[in-house]
Structure 1
Amino acid sequence: MAVSELWAVGMLLAAFAGGAFGASVGALPSFSLAGLLVVVGELYRLVGKTLGAETLPVDITGSVAFGVVLGPHVAFGGGAAALAYATKRGYLDTDFDYHQAKEVTRGLGSEPDVLAVGGLFGVVGYWIATLSASLAIPVDPVALGVVGSAFAHRLAFGYSLVGARPSQWFDMGPFERRTTGGEEPVADGGRRVEPWLPYQYRWGNVLTLGVVVGVLGAYVAWLTASPFLAFGISVVALVFVNAGVAEIPVTHHISLPASTAVLALVDAPVGALTPTLVAGTVPLSVALLVGAGFGVLGALFGEVSQRVLYAHAETHLDPPAASIVVTSLCLGLLAIAGVLPSAVWVPLP
C-alpha cells in the first residue's frame, strides 16, 4: 500500500465502518468471521491455481479477511477499544470474572458513541498497518496494527499501559493461589492477576501445544502451499470460545509462524508457490521439524506477551497478535540475513 492511502477518503470511511462493525458484533466474533473468510479465500486461491488461473478476480484473504472489512487491526482493534470505552463509561454490567474491558467475546450493540469509538480505532489500526507495510517494516502489519491500537486505547482512556512493575510481570501466583485456596487473585498493591486463558498459561502446556499445532500448521502449509490456511482454521475454532465451550485453546499465533517458516524454505515469491513446488523443495520431515520449532516460538512468545501485557492490565491487549509481531520479525530478519530464501508474506525493505 502507498502512504497516500493513509488519507484516501474511501478507505478511511471503510475502516471506520469496519471498526464500528467490530464494536457492534464484538472483537472476538468479528475475528472468527475473519478466520472463516481466510479459509474460504485460501481454498478459493488453491482451486484457482489448480485450474490454471493466472490471477483471481478478488483476493478474499487479503482484501476482506485482512482488509478493512474484517481485518483484526480494524474490526478486532476497534471492538477492543470500544469495549474499553464502554467499560470506562460504566455501560457494562455483567458477571464476567475479569476486568470487563477484557470481555472480548461480547458484542456492544448499537450505542452511537460506542460505535464511533470502534470506528475511530478502526482507522487507527488501518493507519498503523498501512504505514508499516508502506515502510516495509519486516513485521506483520495487521498484528502490529492490533497491538498498536490496543496501546493507543489504553492511553486514550486512562488505563495503565502494562499494569505492573517489571519484577512482577511473570508472577501468576495470586491467580494460582485463588484456584487452590479460594483467595482473591490480587497481587501487592491491589492489582488483580488475570491470565489470558486460565487453562493455557503453564509453561509445559504452552510448549506442548506449540509442538502439536506447529506440526499441524507446517503440514497444512506443505500440503497446500498456503501460509494462511492453518491460521484460518485456528481462528475459526474461536467460534467455540465465543460459544463458551470449555478449554478451547487459542492457536493462531502458533499455526501462522509454523506455516510461514515452512514456505520460507522455498526460494519463490508467495504468489508462485504451489503444492508441487513446496513438496519438491522441502522434505516433509524437515517441514514438520521447522514447523514444530516455530510453533514453539509462537506459543512461548504468546505466553510472554500475556504475562507482560495482559495479565496485570485492565483491557485486552491481544497476546497472539503480540506474538505474531515477534515471530514475523524473526522470519523477516532471517530472510534479510540470507538464512531463509524468503519471508513469504512478511514485508522486506
Structure 2
Amino acid sequence: MSINIDLILASFGGGVFAAALGVIGSFSLCGALILVGIAAAVTTGDNNILNLIAFGPYFGPHISYAGAVAAAAYAGRKQLIDGANILVPLNKLKRFDVLLIGGLFGVLGYLCNELLAVSGIQIDTIAFTVVISNVLVRLVFGKSGFLGRTPKEIKINPGVQTLLFSSLLGFSLGLVSSFATQLTGFVPIGYGISALSLLMLFHDEFPVTHHVAICAAYAAKATGSLIIGGIFGILALLLGNLVGSLFNKNSDTFIDPPALTIAVLSPIIFIFL
C-alpha cells in the first residue's frame, strides 16, 4: 500500500468542502464530474478527471460523501441539526469543528479505500469504504443504537403495489443503465446520471437510484446481457429499500442504503458472473 501525501491532503480538503456543501449537495456534484470525466475520456483519452476528481479526493464518495455524513452526525451529536439529515449544507452552522470532522473522515475514507484496493478483495471498494465509515460514525456519534430506536409498530410487508412499482423502476433503470454501459464502455455513466439527479431531492420526493444503475451496469458488463442488468436493477432497488427501512427509520445518523446495497451485490457479480 503506497501512501501519497498529496492525496491525503487533498482528501482532507475534499472532506471539508463536502461537509460545507452537505451530503446530497456534494454527491450530486460527484455525479456531474463523473459525466464530465467520461466526456473527457471519450474525447481526449485522459481518465484523470474521472479517476482522480470524480472518484478521487475532490468528490469520491468514500471521501466527500462519507466525510459529509460524518460531519452531519457530529453536528447532530452537538444538537445543532438532525444528524441523519443529508440535505442540509453544514456551511450554515459556521462551525470549525463540524468541518474538521468532515476532513478527518475524508482522510480516513482515502486510507480505507487504498487498503481495500491493495487487498485484492472482490468488491466495489468505494461503496464498501462508505459503509465502513458510516458504521463507524454511528458507533462514535450516534445515540439511538445501531439499528435505531425500536418503534412501537414494525411493518415488514411493503405491499404488492410498492413491490410492483419498485420492481418496474429497478428493472427499467437497470435496462437503460446497462445499455449506456454497453454503448459507451463506461460502467459508471448511469451512476453519474442518477447521482446528479439527486439535486431534485431539494425540491420534492425523488427516487434514489445510483445503486441500481451501477449494479445493473456491473452485471451487464460481466454478462453482456441487458436482461441480467435489469434483474440486478430490481435486486438493487428492493435491497436498498430494505436496508433503508432497517437502518435509517429511527436513527440519528445516516447509513447509506445504496452503498450497502452495492457492497452486497458487487461481490456476487464480480465472483459469480
TM-score when normalising by structure 2: 0.91
**Superposed CA offset, 1:218-240 (max 9, x none):** 11112211101111111111111
Q: 1:302 to 1:158 in 2, by over 3 A?
A: closer
Distance 1:231 1:101 in 2: 26
- Residue 105 of structure 2 corresponds to residue 142 of structure 1: no
In the alignment, what sits opposite 1:27? 23
**Correspondence for 1:124:** 108
| Offset from partner CA, 1:288-336 (integer Å, 9 cap, x none) | 21111111121122122112222232211110111111111111221xx
Contact 1:74 1:122 in 2 (8 A): yes
| Alignment partners' CA distance in 2, 1:144 and 1:116 | 23
Task: Tell me what 2:217 maps to.
Answer: 259
Instruction: Determine helix, strand or coil for the equivalent of 2:62.
Output: helix
1:247 and 2:205 matched: yes
Deviations 1:66-92 (A, max 9, x none): 111111111111111111111111223
What does 1:266-305 correspond to in 2, within 5 Å?
Answer: 282=224, 287-305=225-243
- Structure 2: distance between partners of 1:147 and 1:171: 24
By how many angstroms is 1:29 displaced?
0.5
Give the drift of 1:164. 5.6
Length-normalised TM-score, structure 1: 0.72
Deviation at 1:255, TM superposition (A): 0.8
Q: What CA distance in whole angstroms lies between the structure 2 residues aligned with 1:291 and 1:9?
A: 39
Tell whether 2:23 aligns with 1:41. Answer: no
- The equivalent residue for 1:11 is 7
What stretches of structure 1 of length at least 5 have no aligned partner? 49-54, 93-99, 177-200, 266-281, 335-339, 341-349
Q: 1:311 aligns with which of 249, 252, 255?
A: 249
Please state if 1:89 is matched with 2:78: yes
- 2: CA distance, partners of 1:253 / 1:82: 23
Which amino acid counterpart does residue 232 of structure 1 have in structure 2?
G
Query: Is the CA contact (8 Å cut-off) linking 1:42 and 1:61 kept in structure 2?
Result: yes
Residue pair 2:11, 2:58 contacting (<8 A) in 1 also? yes
Residue 217 (str. 1) matches residue 177 (str. 2): yes
* Counterpart residue identity of residue 74, structure 1: I
Aligned to 1:208: 168
* SS of aligned partner of 1:171: coil
Is 1:329 aligned to residue 267 of structure 2? Answer: yes
- Structure 1 position 102, deviation (Å): 1.8
CA distance in 1, matches of 2:154, 2:114: 36
Q: Say whether the 8 Å CA contact 1:301–1:326 is kept in structure 2.
A: no
> For 2:99, which of 73, 91, 115 is the aligned residue?
115
Please list every run of 5 or more consecutive structure 2 residues that lacks an aligned counterpart in the other structure: none
The one-letter amino acid paired with 1:288 is L
Specify the structure having the higher radius of gyration (Cα): 1
Deviations 1:250-305 (A, max 9, x none): 1111011111211113xxxxxxxxxxxxxxxx4xxxx3211111111211221221
